[in-house]
Amino acid sequence: MFTLRPEDFSFTGSGLSRPECIVAEQDGTLWVSDNRGAITRIAPNGDQQLLGHMGGKPNGMTMADDGSFLMANIALRAFYKVTRDGKERPFLDSLDGQPVGAANFVERDRLGRLWLSVSSRLENHLRALERDVPDGYVILIDDEGPRIVADGLLFTNEVRLDAEMRWLYMAETRGGRVSRAPILSDGSLGPCEVFGPDPIFEGALIDGIRFDVDGNLWVTEITRNRLYIIAPDATVHLVFEDPGGTILDHPSSLTFAGPDLKTVHVGGLGQSRLATFRAQSAGVAPAHWT
């Protein structure tokens, strides 16, 4: 099974602040969430440009079909649209007459549907990391508008669809586990089940998840600075750990990039640059590549 050593890593970007999420384009451009504004653009030649003035804690994002970005801000408790010139506006801050809560992540699938995760409804969402508060949930936005399709989760974080778009996978940070639910024909979800260990280890706080083309689900874990793979048969494999935090510091997400989708960039809550390595398997192409 694939493993990494410290010497397998290089670094991309510099001076970043809380680079939690990364969106890659086919030409090599990277867009990285950055709480000094909203997003930092890293050009293929390494030049950087900070966009927006959102502040708070901009975190999980995806690229919209018009090339703008749909981004969660967990501190501002809303979902935003950010254009490539840095203009920002919220596109969802309440649902069914209630504030959405701690907005965490946005995923777009190949059908144009948006899957939004909310970590907690608590006013202070960090308390939902200290004890079990099963109030995290997932919003689906499709032609029918926004609606809740999963609820009762333990600090919902990144959500991803498998390559066939048959299942929605949900990182439950407080639970230290990944859950999944079948996607029904109308976009609603069937019953949730745990995928892989529950928890991945005692005390784990998992954050980011991403599929490769072999069906492996890559997982970032923030307390021990670890990268895992959960194989299709739900067995788990430790790829790398960095207890000292010299390479990975609270790793929060990973993104497959490069022309062959085998260059992997890892963002982290405590990092000022992205940790970069080469994977054996390519990542599943995101919706905006197709």
**Helix, coil or strand: residue 23:** strand
For residue range 203-230, list pLDDT tens digits in order: 999 999 999 999 999 999 999 999 999 9
Closest by CA position to 179, among listed 187, 170, 188, 168: 170
The Cα–Cα gap between 75 and 248 comes to 23
The Cα–Cα gap between 252 and 270 comes to 9
pLDDT at site 1: 79
The Cα–Cα gap between 198 and 204 comes to 10
Tens-binned pLDDT, residue by residue, of the chain (290 aa): 799 999 999 999 999 999 999 999 999 999 999 999 999 999 999 999 999 999 999 999 999 999 999 999 999 999 999 999 999 999 999 999 999 999 999 999 999 999 999 999 999 999 999 999 999 999 999 999 999 999 999 999 999 999 999 999 999 999 999 999 999 999 999 999 999 999 999 999 999 999 999 999 999 999 999 999 999 999 999 999 999 999 999 999 999 999 999 999 999 999 999 999 999 999 999 999 98
**Sign of CA pseudo-dihedral 272, 277, 283, 289:** positive
Give me the residue spans of the domains in the chain.
15-216
pLDDT at site 226: 98
Amino acid occupying residue 225 = N
Note the CATH number of domain 15-216: 2.120.10.30
What tokens appear for 171 in the block? 């990182």
